């Protein structure tokens, strides 16, 4: 029973360490992609399109955004 619990504890520690490293890897990849100039440009175009659509829905009123 003790060997089983030690095995579970070791597996848990190794799994969380590997999981955290994978999480950090995904975060770094996200930041690299989000900071890329092409993505920034596409986000600006999308933002402008959404703002234009919202203006149409609001009847062209400027709400200060």
What pLDDT does residue 1 have? 78
In a domain, residue 64? The reply is no
In a domain, residue 10? The reply is no
37: pLDDT strictly greater than 90:
yes
Number of structural domains the chain divides into: 1
Query: In terms of residue numbers, what domain contains 36?
Result: 19-54
Question: Measured between alpha carbons, how far is 56 from 58 in angstroms, rounded to an integer?
Answer: 5
Higher-confidence position of 13 and 49: 49
62: pLDDT strictly greater than 70:
no
In which band, very low, low, confident or very high, does the pLDDT at 65 lie, cut at 50, 70 and 90? Answer: low
Q: Mean of the per-residue pLDDT values for the chain?
A: 85
Determine the average pLDDT of the residues in 33-46: 92
What pLDDT does residue 53 have? 94
Among 56, 54, 57, smallest CA distance to 65 is for 54
Contacts of 55 (CB under 8 A, 6+ apart): 61, 62
């Amino acid at each position: 029973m003790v060997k089983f619990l030690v095995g579970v504890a070791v597996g848990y520690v190794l799994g969380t360490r590997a999981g955290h490293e994978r999480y950090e890897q995904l975060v770094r990849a996200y930041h690299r992609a989000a900071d890329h100039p092409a993505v920034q440009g596409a986000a600006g175009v999308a933002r402008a399109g959404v703002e234009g659509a919202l203006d149409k829905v609001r009847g062209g009123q400027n709400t200060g955004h």
